[in-house]
Amino acid sequence: MTKPSEKEIEFAKGLEGVVATTTQVGSVDGTAGKLAYRGYDVNDLAEHSTYEETVYLLLYGALPTRSELAGFTDKLVGYRTVPEEALARIRDLPCPCHPMSMLRSGISLLECIDDACRIAENLESKQDAGIQLIGQMATLAAAISRILEQKPPVAPDPELSHAGNFLYMLSGRQPEPLAERVMDIALILHADHGMNASTFASMVVASTLSDIHSAVSSGIATLKGSLHGGANERVIRMLEQFSTPEEALAYVDKAMENKEKIMGFGHRVYKTYDPRARIFQRYARDLSELTGDMKLYNVAEAIEKKVVATLGHKGILPNVDFYSGIIYHALGIDATLFTPIFAVSRVAGWVARIMEYLENNRLFRPRAVYVGPEDLPYIPIDQRG
């Protein structure tokens, strides 16, 4: 029988459009350009909520009462500390090493050396271990940044919000109110986004009934890629190479002429403006004006207008990565930490979706159609040309 060629087989490369499960955690409407967590529009959450409240919503399915939020916040604060032994081992890693690799290693270390990070067997214990990782991720990412700068890590401050504490641990200084609020919004906007690559990777690992640390570390490894979380780092590198908007426009013209990808534009799901990008654009402008350095924003704005005018009708519009890097740059954060910040936020979505899936778990097991040669005779090694 003649074997079908790859062109004759119906399949979704990269599993695009394939439905693998149902969820109540979050929804993405790529046509309308809407993102919601548990039915709440992300624009409303960015305007009115906090990261702590958003995490509670993702995990438990409802907005908390004041007392529920206070109790949950206290729990997150209590879980912020990362054992010194883990930090010492991270210092001993053979750097230079990308912060995402260090972050992934740090999570694996926590599984092995933190007594509280036991390998949980039941769902309640797994979720508690996941909440601990949400609390620790910010501390670990900030400590890695300090270690790379050859500075001592800063211990978490229990009096600060999750976002404010993260900025404090990065710099050692109390953050300005606007900086704290913008970081809080950034964490909200990155907390969950459908069945993206890192979420899927973490769920695949969790479906084997492996521990939640292994599942989260797989999410970090996936997020590191330049086609996923690493894209915002590439965007800022692109923007920094231009001194003026005119230089940027010349680059865009050449890139479009050569049909080259312009970082920060286009999305696998959104066929309209990414709703997160609109929010980030506003705060990128506000922070740039506050710092008195508008260069990057002006360059980005010029690129956006050019690309949208030329390719917008094809759905090539700014995505979440285009303006987020300008915000982090304005906050004094090095570009190598942009993707770890993504993980600091997205760990909430990973844990929420892992726990939801495990309630009715089934091992992920897709298949691949074999299209290679068959029935080949074995040739002894001394007879091979």
**Taking 90 as the threshold, does the pLDDT of residue 183 lie above it?**
yes
253 SS3 class: helix
pLDDT above 90 covers what percent of the chain? 75
At 228 the pLDDT is 83
Range of the domain at 193: 23-365
Least confident span in 3-12, 145-154, 302-311: 3-12
**Sole residue written with tokens 């509280």:** 116
Contacts for 284 with CB less than 8 Å, ≥ 6 apart: 297, 300, 323, 324, 326, 327, 330
pLDDT, tens digit, for every residue of 297-354? Answer: 999 999 999 999 999 888 899 888 899 999 999 999 999 999 999 999 999 999 999 9
Residue 382 lies in a domain: no
Residue 145 lies in a domain: yes
Structural domains of the chain, count:
1
Residue 201 lies in a domain: yes
pLDDT, tens digit, for every residue of 209-247? Answer: 999 999 999 999 999 988 888 788 889 999 999 999 999
What average pLDDT does the segment 366-379 reach? 90
Residue 264 lies in a domain: yes
Whether 249 and 302 have beta carbons less than 8 Å apart is answered as yes
Report d(CA 82, CA 140) in Å as an integer: 7
Residue 370 lies in a domain: no
Q: Say if residue 81 is exposed, middle or buried (CB neighbours under 10 Å; 0-12, 13-18, 19+).
A: middle
Contacts for 383 with CB less than 8 Å, ≥ 6 apart: none
At 384 the pLDDT is 92
pLDDT, tens digit, for every residue of 100-133? Answer: 999 999 999 998 886 655 666 789 989 999 999 9
Residue 238 lies in a domain: yes
Q: Are strands 26-29 and 34-37 parallel, antiparallel or unpaired?
A: antiparallel
Residue 10 lies in a domain: no
For all residues of the chain together, what is the average pLDDT?
92
At 174 the pLDDT is 95
Residue 377 lies in a domain: no
Which secondary structure element, helix H or strand E, spans residue 36, and what is its range? strand 34-37
Domain at 329, CATH number: 1.10.580.10
pLDDT, tens digit, for every residue of 352-372? Answer: 999 999 999 999 999 888 888
Catalytic residue numbers? 228, 267, 321
Q: How would you list the strands of the sheet with 26-29, edge to edge?
A: 26-29, 34-37, 40-41
**Taking 90 as the threshold, does the pLDDT of residue 16 lie above it?**
no
At 269 the pLDDT is 83
Report d(CA 163, CA 165) in Å as an integer: 5
